[in-house]
Amino acid sequence: MDVSKMRSKDLFSLPGLKWAILFISAGILSPILLIYAIKGTLMPREHLIVYIIIPVASTLSLYGGERYLDLRRALWASNFISFPLVIDAFLRTLGAPPYSMSYTVVFLASLISGAMTSSLRARSLPFIISILILASEPSVNVFLSVLASFISFYLLRSIIGEIGHQFLGLRGFGVVRVLADLLLGESRELEEVLEGRCEKGRVSFDLLSLDGISILITDVHPGPFRFGSYDLPFRILEELDSLGYGSIFLRRACSHERDLPSRESVERLLMEISSCHQAHGCCIGKLVYERSDHFEVTAQRICDFIMFTVSGNPIRSFEDIPKNFEIILSRLLGMSTPIVDRHDSLLEEWYVRALPGTDLGEELTDVLLKAGRIAITSECYREVLVGFSRSNPGWRSVGRGGMRALSISLGGEIVTYLSIDSNNMVPELRDLLHLNSVEGTRLIVCTTDTHETLSTKLTYNALGSECGGDPDCLARMAEQIKDLVRESMRNMRSAEVRHCRGSLELPLLGEENLASLASLMRFSSIARRLLLISFLPQLLVLLILFFLF
């Protein structure tokens, strides 16, 4: 993810449709006007027709060639292809022969159509342009320039194909098209490639049912890019909502190696969750809270397992807890120990991870063990009071899953699990939502770690970041969140505790494919260089000829 954030800075955004139309109109008119203004004559009719047809044909050929090639992008691609004609017109005023930039025009048409689409209509564009140019100016020099452009394009495609083969086994410009899919979120081709490369792993979930209200805990990770499980929290909540549940989503400790690579895999998980009908009665114990120098930990006995939550808020900027901690804790306590990563405190500039075997990892293990041993012996309740509330405030950092609060009252105590469909939280907001920040309950704040709210241009979008550090804005957000918690407490009713556990084999992204995707992002920095490659060879030749003769 650090690589993707760094490489996203290499991307450039193109202006809107109006600017694209303005530029393409200027690209058609400026060569005609330039020649007339300097030489006092109009361009020959056959050349004039070609200068008009090339941008129009480029737009029509590229538009709709791929899902992401809308009219705006097709027009801008056409602008890049046609721009050398403006240079060509200027060179004509200096005495250069017609179509001195034919190499660049055909090379750009080959590069853009070959890299951005696999459609036959778009692939025919460089041949159409070549025929138009040669028909209007049938000279040996123009023919050799066009031929050289095709040879150059073939060599470049071979080089990129060989380099790109190490990324997901793709050859040719397939790697560039998949990169476009990856960046623009239209990732069907990428998902098909990943499905074939991913190894299967065991995915599990726990569904705690409280008479129409539920908690879903799973060890699948959202993200990191806009494919597969990037919006998994919302998809699960949407599925449970359709079944009549008021639900919250809690993500277990894991990282991006446990991403699902395709929407098909997500659908299979959703089907398994919705068919989890073998719920059996069980009980819930009281909440145990422990704090160390760097962590806040809770533990709560639920049925035959202990559910932990971990906050790294004392560190101020803390990221994904490895799944290995669950394995270690389960072995030490002799039972299932899902750890919910609260993902509730992150700064843009830096973050810390706790890894097994490190000092920070040992501290986390110790405080988890301490809380877990107390939770095992706690009294367990089969009937509880439960309340639920939800809202979606429309904040930039909150996804479609919105904000959801679930309050549970047992043994004279109330605990509220607050799940916000966001990718982490600024620590200043988290400070206002501490354990005892809402009177009458112990508040456990979690975000879902969704990647729906992130993009290549917005790589940091933690809840509260839209406030820009304004304390009054953060206070208003916190109060709105607290109102949601209070609402869930007002909605309490008696409920019987039931539990269902499910698991299935699904392809998981894995560390190797994750590394390949991160490396693939490096290709995002080559766009400008490829465009320069198109211009430099012929401009260099023309400059040499100009100084020689």
Average pLDDT estimate for 418-442: 96
Output the pLDDT for position 102.
85
Residue 6 has pLDDT above 50, yes or no: no
Residue 174 has pLDDT above 60, yes or no: yes
Residue 529 has pLDDT above 50, yes or no: yes
- State the chain's maximal CA–CA distance in angstroms: 96
Residue 181 has pLDDT above 80, yes or no: no
Output the pLDDT for position 92.
76
* 438 within 8 A of 485, measured Cβ to Cβ: yes
d(CA 348, CA 530) in angstroms, rounded, equals 31
Provide the percentage of residues in the chain whose pLDDT is more than 90.
Answer: 57
Question: Can you name the residues that pair with 205 across neighbouring β-strands?
Answer: 218, 502
Which carries the bigger pLDDT value, residue 241 or residue 16? Answer: 241
* DSSP states along 104-118: HHHHHHHHHHHHH--
Output the pLDDT for position 542.
63
Output the pLDDT for position 443.
98
Average pLDDT estimate for 78-83: 89
3-class DSSP state of 86? helix
Residue type, 518: A
For helices 527-548 and 140-164, the axis angle rounded to 10 degrees is: 150
Which carries the bigger pLDDT value, residue 159 or residue 479? Answer: 479
Which pLDDT tens digit goes with each residue over 22-68? 988 988 888 888 877 877 777 788 888 888 899 999 999 999 887 77
- Highest mean pLDDT, choosing among 43-52, 133-142, 157-166, 442-451: 442-451
Output the pLDDT for position 524.
59
The DSSP bridge pattern shows strands 493-496 and 383-391 to be antiparallel
Q: Which of 20-29, 385-394, 405-414 has the lowest mean pLDDT?
A: 20-29
Which carries the bigger pLDDT value, residue 127 or residue 537? Answer: 127
Q: Which of 81-90, 414-423, 432-441, 527-536 has the lowest mean pLDDT?
A: 527-536
Residue 206 has pLDDT above 90, yes or no: yes
Share the mean pLDDT of the chain.
87
* Three-state SS annotation for 15-36: CCHHHHHHHHHHHHHHHHHHHH
Average pLDDT estimate for 206-228: 91
Which pLDDT tens digit goes with each residue over 278-287? 679 999 999 9
d(CA 31, CA 98) in angstroms, rounded, equals 12
Output the pLDDT for position 506.
96
H and E: helices and strands count for the chain:
18, 16
Average pLDDT estimate for 98-106: 82
Which pLDDT tens digit goes with each residue over 328-373? 999 999 999 999 999 999 999 999 999 999 999 999 999 999 999 9
Q: How confident is the model at residue 183 (pLDDT cuts 50, 70, 90)?
A: low
Output the pLDDT for position 90.
79
Residue 1 has pLDDT above 60, yes or no: no
Structure tokens at 322: 């490895």
d(CA 91, CA 404) in angstroms, rounded, equals 65
Which carries the bigger pLDDT value, residue 8 or residue 119? Answer: 119
Average pLDDT estimate for 306-312: 97
Residue 2 has pLDDT above 60, yes or no: no
Which carries the bigger pLDDT value, residue 146 or residue 531? Answer: 146
